[in-house]
Copies of this chain bind each other. A is one copy, B any other.
């Protein structure tokens, strides 16, 4: 098979999984870290930063944009990308719930 059975899971589970999957690649983590440091970027900045082709970087940026991790604004010739905080707040909330649950009781 190879197809994830999304229809069996809740919207919340699918959405959260999609965002985490998008962040689950070292190049995309590196892009986010670049944006933490530089606040914004254009595709070419990342092409200069990472040892991947322009086509590959463009693809990674699209994936991050698709799940709302970054947003892009057209600026003349190029597209200015920056981080979208909302998604990270969602993830942090989920992680907080996990941590709260775990610290309450020891493991089996």
A residues adjacent to B (C-beta < 8 A): 4-6, 8-10, 13-14, 16-30, 32-33, 35-37, 39-40, 50-52, 71, 73, 75, 80-85, 88-89, 91-92, 95-99, 101-103, 105, 107-108
Chosen A-B contacts, 18 in total, with CB atoms closer than 8 Å, are A4-B27, A6-B26, A8-B50, A9-B26, A10-B26, A13-B33, A16-B29, A17-B24, A20-B20, A21-B21, A22-B24, A23-B24, A39-B105, A75-B108, A80-B107, A82-B108, A83-B102, A89-B95
Inter-subunit contact B95/A91 (CB<8 Å): yes
Q: Which residues of B contact A73 (CB under 8 A)?
A: 107-108
Inter-subunit contact B17/A21 (CB<8 Å): no
Interchain CB contact (< 8 A) of A88 among B21, B32, B95: B95
- Min CB distance A72 to B, Å, is 9
Inter-subunit contact A108/B85 (CB<8 Å): no
